[in-house]
Chain A
C-alpha cells in the first residue's frame, strides 16, 4: 500500500505517494522526475545519489522515501540560484572536474556539505571528505582542485 508523504525538496513543498520499501532515490528519480541524483550502486558505496537531508549528507539509495516526511531535502537540482551557478558548479566546469559527468551531481552535493562544515579544508581533508564518492574518469585531481578553488572563492579570499 502506497504511503502519502509531505516533504520539502529544494525549498518547494512536495507531496508524493510511494511504497514503504521504496528508496528516496527511486522516489526522486522515478516519481518526481528529479533524475540529477544518479544510481551507481544502490548499496551506499558510490555516492552518486548524494543528497542533503536537513543539512546532513546522505546516500539517497539508503534512505526510504517514507522517511522524507517533514524533512528538508536538497538535491543537485537545487544548487544553482536560478541562472547563477553555485561556485562549486562553476569551478567544476572551469577545472574540467568532470569527464563523463555521471558522478558530478554526487560530488557537488558532497562538496557543498563538506565546505559548509569546513570552509577552508586542506587537500587531505578534501580527499577524505569526498572519499565516499566514486569517480572512475578523472583520477580526482581536477575535482580536488575545483573544490579548493571554489572554497577559496566562497571564503572571498
Chain B
C-alpha cells in the first residue's frame, strides 16, 4: 500500500537516532553556499531605491541622470514591472510591494532600482534618481488606524466579511469570526470574569542572512534564479507570473538558507532582480543590506487584543471571547484570522467567539513569523487564564489541565481534534523537576500553553538507486534546520538500509514537480511522507527485480531489512538479495531503479506545548533575566531528536526576545528608527540560560511514522510564560510587550503607588 498514510505503529531502527547531518562539514568549513555566496560571470550589482516617507503619492520619477552615469546598465521603476496579475489582488499586492506604483505605503517601500557594473556605481546612480513625492498623512499604530478619522491607505478598501458591506472606506480590510456556543450565556454562568486589553509590538524574524539572489534572464524568455528562500517552487510561480514568463522556463535554485522563520516565504527583491536582468540583458546580483531587511522585509504584526474569559469557582471556564486587531502593513493579509483561529485552541470550551480585524497601517507588509499570529493571541489568553486561576485560588496549571482540549473536543476554530498532546504536556510540566525548584528573591515562575496547526500540502519526491546500492533522495522542500538528515532517516527506515547509504539533496525547480514552501512546520512531515511513499514504490520495483533474478513469481518475494526474501519453503536455498545485490544487477533486469511520489500531504497533526520559566526582575532598573527555561512539546515522532530539541530551543529563544526586548520603533514622521541589530536587539548568548527540553511523542495517526510538525509551536507560549512569571515575581500583570526595562519600571512604580 504505497500511498497509505496511516500510522503503522512499527518499531524503528533509524528513525529516532541522532546521526550527523549530511551538510555539516560544508557548514563548519565555510564551503556551504548561501544566498550571497554565489556569483556568475558578467554579473551586475543591483540596488534598490526606497521611499523615505511613510505615505506619499509618487508624482513622477526622473531616472534620466542615473541612466546616463557610466557603468549603469539598467534602471527600472514600476513601469518595467507592468501589472500582469489579471485581477488576482493578492498577486497585485505582492507586485506593488516589490515596486511601488502610484503611492508609497511605508518607509522603505521600493520605488526604483538600478543595475551597474559595481556597488559604487550602483549607489551613485540611486542618488541621481529624482522622485517627486506628495507627502500624505500616515498612520503606523494599529489602534490609531482603526479610528474613524485615521488617514486611509486605500480609498477602495471596504471591509470584507461584514454585512452589510460598508459604504465608506476604512483601514480594516477584513473581519473574520470563529467560535461556537453562546458566549453571553457562558459569561452569565461565570463566577468571575476578567477582561483586558493586551498589546504586542512589531518584531522581525531576524534571520542572520539578508535576502540575496542572482537573477539571469535571457532574450529567449528563459531565466535562472539563485536565491535564499523557504520555497523556490513558490518563488518561481510568483516571479514567473509577475514577469510574464513561462513557469517551466524559469529555473530556481534554492541556496543554503541562513534562517527564514517565515520571512523567506515571500518574494521581495527577486522580481526586481529579474526585471533588472531582463532590461540589462546581464545577470544581476541583488543582496539586501540589514537596514533594508528591517525596513522592507518581514516583519510580523503589531497587535492589540481584547480578551474576556469567564470562570466558575470550580475552575470550569464558561466562555471566552476575543477581538484581535493585527497590523497587516499596507495590504490585506490573514494574520488576524490566524490569531482568531488559534487564540483558544488549547481549551475545550462550550462557548467561544473570536473576531479578527486585518488592519492596514503604513508599515512594511507583514509576513509570516513562525506560527504566525499565534504567540500574540496566546499571550492575551494565557495571561487571563492565569489571572482567573488566581482569582478562584487554584493552581493555574490545574485550571489548564481541567479545561484542556482532548481527543473529540470541538476546537475553537472548527474541526474536532484527534489524538492531541495538550493534556500530556501539562501533566509532564506538573511532574517536571523545574516546578519544584526553589526560587530566589525577585524571582517568579510562570507557565503557559501554545498551539499550532502544522501544515501539509503539495509535495513531490524522488528516490534513485545507484549502481552500488546507495540511494539519492531528492526533495523539493528547502532544508531550514537539518531536514535532509531527518528525511534520509525516514527513507533509510522504509528501505531497511543504514542512514549512511542514503544521501538527501534539495533539487532545483526544473528537477522535480512542484513543492510548497517549507512553512507551517511542513518540511519534515510532508517530505518524509512523500519519501516513504517513494521508497515503497522503489521497494515494489526492487521486489520485481529480485523475482526476475531468481526467476520466481514476484508475489513470492517479500522485503525485509533491506533485503528481498523468497517466501516459501520451496525457496529454502535462495539466499536473500540485498539492495546492493539488486542494484548491481539492474542493468540486466530492467534498468535504473527509482521510486517517485507526488502527494498532497493531508492530516498534519496539530501540536501543543507547555513552557515553564523562571524570571528575575531587578526592581531598580526593571531589567529581567531568564534564570531557567523548560520546553515540553509533542512531536508526534521525533525523527532526529537533536534537531527537534533545536527547534524547541530556537523558538523559545525567539519568544524570549519578543517578550523582553524586540520591537520596531517608529518616529512621529513614520520612519523606522531602529533598523539594525544594535538598536533592534535580539537575544545574545549571555542573555539566555540553557533551554531544557522534553519531547513527548503522541503519534499523528495520519503519518506512517506518527510525525507531526515541530518547528513553530515553540514560539507560541514564551511571551505569556514570561508575563505570567513576571506577575508572580512582583504581583503586576504586564499587558504590553516587549516587557522592556522602562515598561517594567513603570508597572512597578504604578503598583507601588496603588
Show the binding face of A for B, using Cβ within 8 Å.
19, 29, 34-43, 45-46, 48, 75-77, 79-80, 85, 89, 92-96, 98-105, 108, 123-124, 126-128, 130-145
Interface centre among B36, B120, B685 (most CB of A within 10 A): B685
Instruction: Report the separation of the CA atoms of residues A85 and B27 in the bound assembly, to the nearest whole angstrom.
Output: 12
Main SS at interface, chain B: loop
Instruction: Report the separation of the CA atoms of residues A145 and B378 in the bound assembly, to the nearest whole angstrom.
Output: 31
Contacts of A95 in B (CB 8 A): 642
The reply to whether B206 and A136 contact each other, CB–CB distance below 8 Å, is: yes
B588 beta carbon closer than 8 Å to chain A:
no
B650 beta carbon closer than 8 Å to chain A:
yes
The reply to whether A134 and B208 contact each other, CB–CB distance below 8 Å, is: yes
Residue among B29, B208, B688 making CB contact with A140, cutoff 8 Å: B688
Q: Could you tell me the distance in whole angstroms from the C-beta of A49 to the nearest C-beta in chain B? A: 11
The reply to whether A43 and B682 contact each other, CB–CB distance below 8 Å, is: no
The reply to whether B677 and A136 contact each other, CB–CB distance below 8 Å, is: no
Q: Could you tell me the distance in whole angstroms from the C-beta of A148 to the nearest C-beta in chain B? A: 11
A-B contact pairs, 11 of them (CB 8 A): A35-B33, A40-B210, A46-B208, A85-B28, A89-B25, A89-B29, A99-B647, A101-B32, A139-B688, A141-B690, A142-B649
| B residues 681-697 touching A (CB-CB < 8 Å) | 682-686, 688, 690-691
Q: Could you tell me the distance in whole angstroms from the C-beta of A69 to the nearest C-beta in chain B? A: 22
Q: Could you tell me the distance in whole angstroms from the C-beta of B498 to the nearest C-beta in chain A? A: 18
Q: Could you tell me the distance in whole angstroms from the C-beta of B21 to the nearest C-beta in chain A? A: 7
The reply to whether A144 and B690 contact each other, CB–CB distance below 8 Å, is: yes
The reply to whether B684 and A99 contact each other, CB–CB distance below 8 Å, is: no
| B residues 253-309 touching A (CB-CB < 8 Å) | 256-261, 287, 289-290
Contacts of B23 in A (CB 8 A): 101
Residue among B28, B37, B205, B210 making CB contact with A35, cutoff 8 Å: B37
The reply to whether A139 and B691 contact each other, CB–CB distance below 8 Å, is: yes
Residue among B18, B259, B290 making CB contact with A100, cutoff 8 Å: B259
The reply to whether A102 and B653 contact each other, CB–CB distance below 8 Å, is: no
The reply to whether A137 and B691 contact each other, CB–CB distance below 8 Å, is: no
B92 beta carbon closer than 8 Å to chain A:
no
Contacts of A144 in B (CB 8 A): 685, 690
The reply to whether A94 and B20 contact each other, CB–CB distance below 8 Å, is: yes
Interface residues on B, range: 35 or more
Q: Could you tell me the distance in whole angstroms from the C-beta of B304 to the nearest C-beta in chain A? A: 26
- Look across to chain A and name the residue whose beta carbon is closest to the beta carbon of B654: A136
The reply to whether A136 and B208 contact each other, CB–CB distance below 8 Å, is: yes
B187 beta carbon closer than 8 Å to chain A:
no
Contacts of B677 in A (CB 8 A): 40-41, 43, 45-46, 134
| B residues 657-715 touching A (CB-CB < 8 Å) | 676-678, 682-686, 688, 690-691
Contacts of B37 in A (CB 8 A): 29, 35
Q: Mark B6-22, 1 if CB is under 8 A from A, else 0.
A: 00000000000010110
- Look across to chain B and name the residue whose beta carbon is closest to the beta carbon of A37: B30
Contacts of B207 in A (CB 8 A): 100, 102, 136
The reply to whether B691 and A45 contact each other, CB–CB distance below 8 Å, is: no
Contacts of B643 in A (CB 8 A): 96, 99
Instruction: Report the separation of the CA atoms of residues A137 and B480 in the bound assembly, to the nearest whole angstrom.
Output: 10
Q: Could you tell me the distance in whole angstroms from the C-beta of B255 to the nearest C-beta in chain A? A: 10
The reply to whether A102 and B30 contact each other, CB–CB distance below 8 Å, is: no
Contacts of A80 in B (CB 8 A): 29
Q: Could you tell me the distance in whole angstroms from the C-beta of A71 to the nearest C-beta in chain B? A: 19
Instruction: Report the separation of the CA atoms of residues A135 and B682 in the bound assembly, to the nearest whole angstrom.
Output: 9
The reply to whether A42 and B289 contact each other, CB–CB distance below 8 Å, is: yes
Instruction: Report the separation of the CA atoms of residues A35 and B26 in the bound assembly, to the nearest whole angstrom.
Output: 12
Residue among B25, B33, B481, B642 making CB contact with A85, cutoff 8 Å: B25
B93 beta carbon closer than 8 Å to chain A:
no
19 further A-B pairs in the complex, CB-CB below 8 A; given A79-B28, A135-B208: A38-B36, A46-B290, A93-B24, A93-B25, A96-B645, A99-B647, A101-B32, A101-B258, A127-B686, A127-B688, A130-B684, A133-B684, A136-B205, A137-B259, A137-B481, A139-B688, A139-B691, A141-B690, A145-B690
Contacts of A128 in B (CB 8 A): 685-686
Given contacts A35-B33, A40-B290, A136-B259, contact A96 B676 (CB under 8 A): no
The reply to whether A38 and B685 contact each other, CB–CB distance below 8 Å, is: no
The reply to whether A77 and B29 contact each other, CB–CB distance below 8 Å, is: yes
Contacts of B36 in A (CB 8 A): 29, 35, 38-39
The reply to whether A141 and B28 contact each other, CB–CB distance below 8 Å, is: no
The reply to whether B20 and A93 contact each other, CB–CB distance below 8 Å, is: yes
Contacts of B347 in A (CB 8 A): none
The reply to whether B678 and A79 contact each other, CB–CB distance below 8 Å, is: no
The reply to whether A76 and B650 contact each other, CB–CB distance below 8 Å, is: no
The reply to whether A45 and B688 contact each other, CB–CB distance below 8 Å, is: no
The reply to whether B682 and A98 contact each other, CB–CB distance below 8 Å, is: no
- Look across to chain B and name the residue whose beta carbon is closest to the beta carbon of A126: B685
Residue among A36, A45, A77, A138 making CB contact with B676, cutoff 8 Å: A45
B482 beta carbon closer than 8 Å to chain A:
yes
- Look across to chain B and name the residue whose beta carbon is closest to the beta carbon of A133: B685
- Look across to chain B and name the residue whose beta carbon is closest to the beta carbon of A98: B27
Instruction: Report the separation of the CA atoms of residues A89 and B24 in the bound assembly, to the nearest whole angstrom.
Output: 9
